[in-house]
Every structure is written in C-alpha cells, then in structure tokens.
Structure 1
Amino acid sequence: MSNKPILHRDDPKAEPLVGNVKVTRDDWLNVAMDVLISDGVEQVKVLNLADRMAVSRSSFYWYFKSRQQLLDALLDRWQATNTAALIAQAEAPAETITAAVCNVHHCVVNPDLFDTALDFAVRDWARRSGKVRRMLDQSDARRLEALKRMFMRFGYEELEAVTRARVLYYMQIGYDLAQLNEPVEFRLKLLPYYLLVFTGVQGRPEEIEAFTNYAKRFWEGEET
C-alpha cells in the first residue's frame, strides 16, 4: 500500500492537499468514505484515517465527538446523495413513462448522482449492524415508493406499479452486483428492449438518443 496521503477536497478547483496540513470536517468524511468503500466499515478508524492523510488524529476531535459520530455522518451523506438522487430522478418531469425511466437511469451512469460502490459498501455494513440494516430497509422502501409513484403518474394501477418498480430497482442492484463489464455500445443497444421490459411500451427514438448521448458522456473511455 502506498504511503502517500489520500486527502482530497470535494471541490475539484481547490488546491490539492498533501502532507502535514490543516484538514476540515469534509476531509475526514471524504477519506472515511474512501476507506468505507475500499476496505469496509471495520477499517474506518480514527488512527487509520489520520495515517492515510498524514496528519495528526487530534484534529478529528475538533469535528467529531467520537468514531460513532463519524459513522453516523457517513450514513447521513449516503442518504443525502444516493437515496435523495434516485428519488429526485423518479420525480423529475417527463412526458412519457419511458422518458421517466431514462431519468432514473441517469443514476446508473452518472456517479455524481448515485455512487454504486458506496451503496454496496452500506449494504455490506448492514450485514454487521442492525441499525444500518434498518436504515437500509427504510431507504430501499423510500426509493421503491418513489418508483411506484412514478409509474402511477402514467396511469399504471397500483399493484402493477409496485411490481414494475421492484423489477426496475432490484434488476439494477443485481446488474451492478454482477459486474458484467459489458462494452458500452452493447449496453446501449439493449436500452430500447430494457425500456420495453420495464414499462410495457416502446421508448421514443428521441428519448433513446438523448439518453445514449447522456450516457456516453460518462462512459467515454471505458473498455469496449
């Protein structure tokens, strides 16, 4: 493992931070998030984070009373990003249900909207913590409710809307978990058929083209 500090800011325009510098609350959170994703919650420890940033651990206690408070802050950030983003995309204006599903799938391709690695890290954490399991269950329920309401906006009966919401949501979780590493062009060729499976109707060509252009902005550079 490299001995270089991994301290970073959320603001990409900010000066990169290295060495023995004053760190902020967000710095501690950013590095804790990195460790949670890469190594699991057990490694989110004050001394470990301080070593990774090459700073004294004393500054941690300016911002957090305890490690538990840091862990709670990580969960708050997860809720405020992943869960909030998926719900917002489900509620975004759309002319058709296929356009609405494309809005939701912005979360699939845009890591600034939805961090898949973070979601899996929290799911792994939930296997070890009853509190986190309850929070995850509540988050899943909120996400599914938003997707159900999305389908109902376009005239689906409630039970069908529930079913389609579950297919859409759990299919994506399984898809990400499988880590298929498909070529980008193949993924996008499947889009019209996914839309048909999820909604029961054909997507409009302009919707498919718009989503394809959106996805390519984020998938550019992936192996094909």
Structure 2
Amino acid sequence: MAEDDLPGNIKVTRADWLRTAMELLVSDGVQSVKVQTIGTRLGVSRSSFYWYFQSRQDLLDQLLAEWERTNTGVMIAHAALPAPTITAALNNFFRCVVDPEGFNHQLDFAVREWARRDARVRGVIDRSDTARQQALARMFARHGYDPAEADIRARVLYYQQIGYYALELSETVEERLSRVEGYLYCFTGVVPSKEEVEDFKRYARGVAGGHTRPI
C-alpha cells in the first residue's frame, strides 16, 4: 500500500517516525526512543507505527542504518569528490561539516552514547569510523602520499574533527575561518592557494548562516 493511500490518521510517513525518533535520540538518549512517545509527538496512535516497523527494535535498527547512511555516507562522499589539489580536496571534506544539512555531529555523539549500552551498536560505530578513516586515507593517496603517510594524515584529520565535537567548543564561524589556511597546511603539508581559501570561506559563510559548527 502506498503512503498516499493510507487511511485516517496513518498519514504520518516512515520518514516522520524516523525523524522524530532521531530527535528523541539526540535530545534524551536511546532510552527515550519509544513508540508511545513518538506517536504522541506525531499526534497518531501506536497502530500507525506498525505500517512501517515490526517492533521498537526494528525502528532502532532502521534508525541506526539511517545514521550510517547519512553521517558516514556524507563524509565518504565528500572525501571522494574530485579535486585538483590535496588542499582543494580537504576543502571538499570540510564542506560536509560546515553545512547544516551535512554531517550531523549531535546525532553522531548520540549514537556513540547509545553504543555505551549496546555492544552491537559499538560494532557499527567501529565499522563506520574505519570506513571514514579509510575514505580520507584514499583522498590523501590520490594526491601522491604514500600509504603509510596517507593513513596517518587521515587519522590526525579525523580524530581532530571528532575531537572538536567532543570538546563542545563554541567558536563563531569567523573564528574558525580565520584558521582555515593554517589547518589546510598542517593537515596536508601544502600551502593552499589564496583562491582555495577564499572559495571555502565564501561557501562556509553562505551555508552556516551564523551557526558555530566546527571546521
């Protein structure tokens, strides 16, 4: 049955259930991701839940898969974007973390907190961390770094980025952007062109809109 054909109060979609479940995961933790709570927020009965999910565990499994598809997927996709230089490639990666519609660091840490209670989720996170690091290592390797150096630079870049989120630093966009040239040099060992730096700054200012997302 198509979603448009659903009767009465079952007009709420699977995406609505997942979105609300994610909001609860981020704000209150996995223990608060309950069918009744989500249904109340959506203004529908529990019965509509079963059009899309077999059980709460099924919802949690799909929620975890959605996190992996989006957060891990967006990092890997940006690391794979074509670029004429390694510094331009790194700017491509940075775009996914400054864009409010890109990498969701609050969701990422909510899933990591969830993993403290669930070894299976811990395994998914380990797999995602490895995939992200390997994507960054491939990015460096495409620009001439030998495999060992590419691996180390990828780890330094990834751990630094995740560390920014863990520290919950509150810096303005302009404070972050003032360090972009230095970051590009430190991560790559290559001095970026002025055009690359200015191009990234224009992009970041355009999508950030005053937000303080880590760069």
- TM-score of the superposed pair, with normalisation by structure 1: 0.88
Match of 2:32 among 21, 43, 46: 43
The answer for the alignment partner of 1:72 in structure 2 is 61
Q: How far apart in 2 are the matches of 1:34 and 1:24?
A: 16
The answer for the alignment partner of 1:115 in structure 2 is 104
Query: How far did 1:219 drift?
Result: 2.2
The answer for the alignment partner of 1:142 in structure 2 is 131
The answer for the alignment partner of 1:22 in structure 2 is 11
Give the AA of the match of 2:29: G
Query: Alignment partner of 2:62: what SS?
Result: helix
Match of 1:167 among 142, 156, 160: 156
CA 1:184/1:88 → structure 2, altered by over 3 Å: closer, same or farther? same
Match of 1:97 among 68, 83, 86: 86
The answer for the alignment partner of 1:54 in structure 2 is 43
Give the AA of the match of 2:160: M
Match of 1:87 among 73, 76, 85: 76
Q: How far apart in 1 are the matches of 2:114 and 2:211?
A: 29
- Contact 2:116–2:122 (CA<8 Å) still a contact in 1? yes
Match of 2:171 among 170, 182, 189: 182
- Contact 2:140–2:154 (CA<8 Å) still a contact in 1? yes
Q: Deviations over 1:56-105 (max 9, x none)?
A: 11100111110000001111111111111111111100000000111000
Could you list the runs of 5+ residues in structure 2 that have no partner in the other structure? 1-8
**Over aligned residue pairs, what C-alpha RMSD do you find?**
1.3
Q: Deviations over 1:128-147 (max 9, x none)?
A: 11110000000000110110
Q: How far apart in 1 are the matches of 2:210 and 2:86?
A: 30
The answer for the alignment partner of 1:200 in structure 2 is 189
Q: Deviations over 1:8-60 (max 9, x none)?
A: xxxxxxxxxxxx67311111111101101111111000011111222211100
Query: How far did 1:122 drift?
Result: 0.8
Runs of 4+ more than 3 Å apart: none
Match of 1:63 among 48, 52, 56: 52
Give the AA of the match of 1:93: P
Q: How far apart in 2 are the matches of 1:102 and 1:207?
A: 8
- Contact 2:74–2:96 (CA<8 Å) still a contact in 1? yes
Give the AA of the match of 2:130: A
Q: How far apart in 1 are the matches of 2:175 and 2:210?
A: 15
- TM-score of the superposed pair, with normalisation by structure 2: 0.91
- Between the two proteins, the alignment pairs up a number of residues equal to 204
Higher relative contact order (CA 8 A, sep 6+): 2
Could you list the runs of 5+ residues in structure 1 that have no partner in the other structure? 1-19
Query: Alignment partner of 1:55: what SS?
Result: coil
Q: Is 1:152 aligned to residue 136 of structure 2? A: no
* Equivalences for residues 127-138 of structure 1 within 5 A: 127-138=116-127
